Amino acid sequence: MISPIVYTVGRVIVDLYATDIAVPLDEVFTFRKYVGGSSGNTAIGLARLGNRTGVIARVGDDPMGHYIIDTLQREGIDTRMVRMDSHRQTGIAFAALYPPGDSHVWFCGNPNANSSLAIEDLDFNALREARAIVIAGTGLAREPSRSAVLGLAMWAKEVGIPIILDVDWRPVFWRDPDRARLVYDQLLAMTHIVLANEPELALVGESHDMTAAAAHVLEKGVSEVVAKRGEKGAWSYRRNRDAVFSPAFTVQVLNTLGAGDGFAAGYVHGLLAGWNVEKRLQWANACGAIVVTRHSCSDAMPKASEVQALWERAEAGGTIDE
């Protein structure tokens, strides 16, 4: 098997999304099942855009874990480093959708198999062929996953493979925000690019002022901070360079969950393709915009042809409504 050029690392779970819209979870009776979690969503997004992609994670040795592996393989994703855990179950997230606002999510099985990722799970010979590794920050929340992720990042820095950190801040997985900030700081020292929404950037940048927070992160040695702001567009901050802004696309929103993962897939795709920062931001915004028009996260990830179609409609002054 040809080695992937990009790996995602961290949270891979099962999403169960309510089929009834704007109904509280305790009143919902039917759900649709998808692969979920930041790393699973981003991996599928990258694969659909044409990248050779692998996932590094643990899932339970249970029906949901088998479902995840089967689904990733159908998407053409390398699962050789997706380990099955016989002691912890696959994580599950239930979600009630309230468009156009944020959805209500309830995580089950915490801690779950994701937090059992171990340094022994990593195949460093295979990883040497990678051009980038995308880490979801929830992999830092608990041991032994925390040590595995930090060990991987340290190794990647030594061999020159860039780390892209999707902060993926989920307070429910952490006991103490101050402790979380310290752990993130350890990873930032080995990170090339940081992707963060507004609360995430405030956490790692220690400021609610976006520009000040980005500057603080850059001071830690990071080369680029990408601020995801949803309908407000996105910014790229780099050391000794002017900030770059890209506006969002106008779409009809069904589900905001997964938009950031779609954005990450689009941005990393552009990075691997060697595009300039302006085009990377535009592509990422378009991917995120398409995701929010659809019910799921992972299954909502677009193909390149769909992104191009959105651009053409936006240039013509239209919106998409799927």
Residue 11's pLDDT band, with cuts at 50, 70 and 90, is very high
89 phi/psi in degrees, rounded to 5: -85, 160
Average pLDDT over residues 104-125: 93
176 has pLDDT over 70: yes
170 has pLDDT over 90: yes
Residue 31's pLDDT band, with cuts at 50, 70 and 90, is very high
Q: Which two tokens stand for residue 110?
A: 């915490």
Q: What average pLDDT does the structure give for the chain?
A: 94
pLDDT digits (tens, 9 = 90+) for 256-285: 999 999 999 999 999 999 999 999 999 999
Q: What pLDDT sits at residue 1?
A: 59
User: What residue type is assigned to position 161 of the chain?
Assistant: I
Ramachandran sector of residue 50 (left: φ over 0; alpha: ψ -120 to 50; beta: rest): left
pTM assigned to the model? 0.95
Q: Which two tokens stand for residue 261?
A: 């993962």
DSSP string, 98-140: -TTSPPEEEEESSS-GGGG--GGG--HHHHTT-SEEEEEGGGG
Q: What is the largest CA-CA distance in the chain?
A: 54
Residue 102's pLDDT band, with cuts at 50, 70 and 90, is confident
Using an 8 Å Cβ cutoff, are 19 and 31 in contact? yes
Using an 8 Å Cβ cutoff, are 314 and 247 in contact? no
First to last CA, the chain: 36
Structural domains of the chain sorted by starting position, each given as residue range(s) with its CATH number in brackets: 6-315 (3.40.1190.20)
Cα–Cα dist 140/268, whole Å: 21
Residue 322's pLDDT band, with cuts at 50, 70 and 90, is very low
Residue 311's pLDDT band, with cuts at 50, 70 and 90, is confident
Q: What pLDDT sits at residue 283?
A: 95
321 has pLDDT over 70: no
Calculate what percentage of the chain has a pLDDT beyond 90. 89
pLDDT digits (tens, 9 = 90+) for 54-85: 999 999 999 999 999 999 999 999 999 999 99
Cα–Cα dist 10/55, whole Å: 8
Residue 218's pLDDT band, with cuts at 50, 70 and 90, is very high
Residues counted in the chain: 322
Return the H-helix or E-strand segment holding 84. Answer: strand 78-85
320 has pLDDT over 60: no
